[in-house]
Amino acid sequence: MRKTELVNLLAKEADISQALAREVLEKLFALTTKTLKKEGRFSLPNIGILEVVKRARRKARNPRTGEIVMVKAHKAVKFKPSKTLKDFVR
């Protein structure tokens, strides 16, 4: 689902304007990134948890050339789905 589709769906379901729905989603996205940066974790009830994790330096292979390259250590965002979401998908 694209952002515009999400805005349209939220506007329809909440019976609000698309402009207000877009603003609400923008605020939610901003809050999510701000919280992840500050606390390293953001919980979405009944959906799951977004968490910043550290990835270690590692060897990888360039699929085009077969050459071994080193990937620097970095941070990434990991998503852990809630039990409710897992059960719903099954």
In tens digits, the chain (90 residues) has pLDDT values of 999 999 999 999 999 999 999 999 999 999 999 999 999 999 999 999 999 999 999 999 999 999 999 999 999 999 999 999 999 999
63/83 same-domain check: yes
**Do residues 45 and 30 share a domain?**
no
Same domain, 53 and 74: yes
The pair of structure tokens assigned to 39 is 């606390």
* Structural domain span for residue 75: 40-90
How many structural domains does the chain have? 2
Q: For residue 62, how far is the Cα from the chain centroid?
A: 27
11 and 46 part of one domain: no
Q: What angle do CA 47, 50, 51 make, to 5 degrees?
A: 150
pTM: 0.76
CATH number for 90: 4.10.520.10
Query: To 10 degrees, what angle do helices 18-39 and 3-14 make?
Result: 120
Shared-domain flag, residues 24 and 52: no
